[in-house]
Amino acid sequence: MDEKKMALIFKAFCDENRIRILKMLRSGEKCACKMLDEFNVTQPTLSHHMKILCDSGIVLGRKEGKWMYYSISAEGAKVAADCIKELTSAPKG
């Protein structure tokens, strides 16, 4: 995995607000409107955090009507776990 992709993954995890968002999403897909109520932040702040999480591949977003719905990507979570494993294990060979 290249360093740029790794940096995007770590950026997603390096903010306590994004950690809270990920914890919220563990129970399943959430509408941004519900997240705004639970998280108690402004819409622009939530959008900023969601962009970073989506750019990392860890979170998926889908638009339905005027609302966005977010969920944790199983594939993105595996890539993040593989990233940590790659950085913390001895090279093979």
pTM of the model: 0.90
pLDDT digits 0-9 by tens, 12-55: 999 999 999 999 999 999 999 999 988 888 999 999 999 999 99
Indicate the pLDDT class of residue 93, thresholds 50, 70 and 90. Answer: low
Query: HEC string of the chain?
Result: CCHHHHHHHHHHHCCHHHHHHHHHHCCCCEEHHHHHHHHCCCHHHHHHHHHHHHHHCCEEEEEECCEEEEEECHHHHHHHHHHHHHHHCCCCC
